[in-house]
């Protein structure tokens, strides 16, 4: 079996059988296409050795790829060859002995309370796109800690207890409950009324209206890319002039929850992290925040 054939079969498997998200499948596809280009798409998989894979990693390093990108590439290789071994195409996984690259410590990008409030208020003060939708979107991202993809896929039928909580489908299609505080709920109600008016203006029949909460000006479901674009408009030169990506809301949610005394395992559950170590990195942020406050407030600092 060639590397190209194995890759095609593997991608079908993780999509159709394991049900991984489109974003995850696309990520695997990108890394495995890179592997094929560095070796050869027609190379027989039984000829691939650890040394071949190490040379690939060396080439990525020479191209100054980040440590995170290289580690993702290694993880994709390991998973591909584990699949090949599981189904009897290989006797041994050549990627198991390939070690990951040490990652530099990086603090997740988060906003201060003042910054996040300014961003949530930005659509009201400066209507660049769709005022009620954009305010509801920002308030709900901040209130729930959802990923942009989770918010894009959020459906009207997912809500529970009125509009105060919802079931979202995270990575690996894992379900969890997220919560929305009063500002988010109020903003959502205003937007939903405008959403109905928008469909009426576009003459979209009830049965053809998408179930997703957030839509674009054309009446179709808002995508993850659309959410990034909206946020770039309000955080760019025409808005707060402090450009951020949607994940900053999630980082801010986690940081503020832990800073205000929430249990780390509760925050882990709310964020949908499979490992508590992922959540614990936010405790490092809160520690640094305390040190910064001390250094600024202590008279002898």
* Euclidean distance between CA atoms 88 and 91, whole angstroms: 7
DSSP assignment of 165-182: EEEEE-GGG-EEEEE--H
Catalytic position from the list 147, 195, 198, 251: 147
What order do you get walking across the sheet with 175-179 strand by strand? 159-160, 165-169, 175-179
Catalytic residue at 13? Answer: no
* Euclidean distance between CA atoms 251 and 284, whole angstroms: 12
For residue 177, the cross-strand partners are 167
Catalytic residue at 282? Answer: yes
**Containing H/E element for 160?**
strand 159-160
For residue 165, the cross-strand partners are 160, 179
Residue among 13, 77, 12, 11 nearest 45 (CA): 77
Catalytic position from the list 135, 195, 198, 250: 250
* Euclidean distance between CA atoms 135 and 128, whole angstroms: 11
Catalytic position from the list 164, 171, 176, 228: 171
Per DSSP, 245 falls in state -
Is the distance from CB of 152 to CB of 226 less than 8 angstroms? Answer: yes
* Euclidean distance between CA atoms 257 and 248, whole angstroms: 14
Catalytic position from the list 29, 85, 247, 281: 247
Catalytic residue at 171? Answer: yes
* Euclidean distance between CA atoms 183 and 86, whole angstroms: 50
Is the distance from CB of 195 to CB of 215 less than 8 angstroms? Answer: yes
| Cβ neighbours for 239, distance < 8 A, ≥ 6 positions apart | 119, 122, 126, 128, 233
Catalytic residue at 147? Answer: yes
- φ, ψ for residue 212 (rounded to 5)? -60, 140
Catalytic residue at 250? Answer: yes
Catalytic residue at 247? Answer: yes
Catalytic residues: 147, 171, 247, 250, 273, 282
């Amino acid at each position: 079996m060639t590397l190209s054939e194995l890759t095609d079969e593997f991608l079908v498997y993780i999509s159709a059988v394991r049900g991984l998200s489109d974003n995850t499948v696309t990520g695997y596809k990108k890394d495995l296409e890179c592997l094929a280009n560095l070796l050869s798409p027609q190379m027989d998989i039984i000829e691939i050795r650890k040394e071949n894979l190490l040379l690939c990693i060396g080439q990525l390093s020479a191209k100054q790829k980040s440590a995170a990108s290289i580690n993702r590439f290694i993880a994709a290789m390991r998973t591909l060859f584990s699949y090949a071994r599981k189904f009897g195409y290989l006797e041994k996984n050549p990627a198991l002995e390939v070690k990951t690259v040490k990652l530099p410590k990086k603090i997740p990008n988060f906003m201060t309370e003042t910054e996040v409030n300014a961003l949530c208020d930005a659509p009201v003060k400066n209507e660049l796109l769709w005022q009620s939708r954009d305010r509801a979107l920002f308030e709900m991202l901040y209130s729930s800690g959802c990923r942009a993809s989770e918010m894009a896929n959020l459906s009207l039928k997912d809500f529970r207890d009125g509009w105060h909580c919802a079931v979202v489908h995270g990575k690996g299609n894992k379900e969890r409950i997220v919560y929305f505080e009063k500002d988010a709920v109020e903003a959502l109600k205003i937007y939903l009324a405008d959403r109905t008016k928008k469909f009426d203006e576009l003459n979209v029949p009830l049965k053809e209206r998408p179930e997703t909460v957030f839509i674009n000006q054309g009446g179709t479901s808002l995508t993850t890319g659309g959410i990034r674009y909206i946020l770039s408009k309000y955080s760019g030169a025409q808005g707060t002039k402090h450009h951020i990506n949607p994940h900053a809301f999630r980082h801010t949610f986690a940081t503020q929850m832990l800073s205000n005394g929430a249990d780390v395992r509760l925050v882990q559950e709310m964020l949908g992290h499979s490992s508590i170590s992922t959540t614990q990195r936010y405790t490092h942020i809160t520690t640094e925040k305390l040190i910064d406050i001390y250094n600024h407030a202590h008279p002898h600092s």
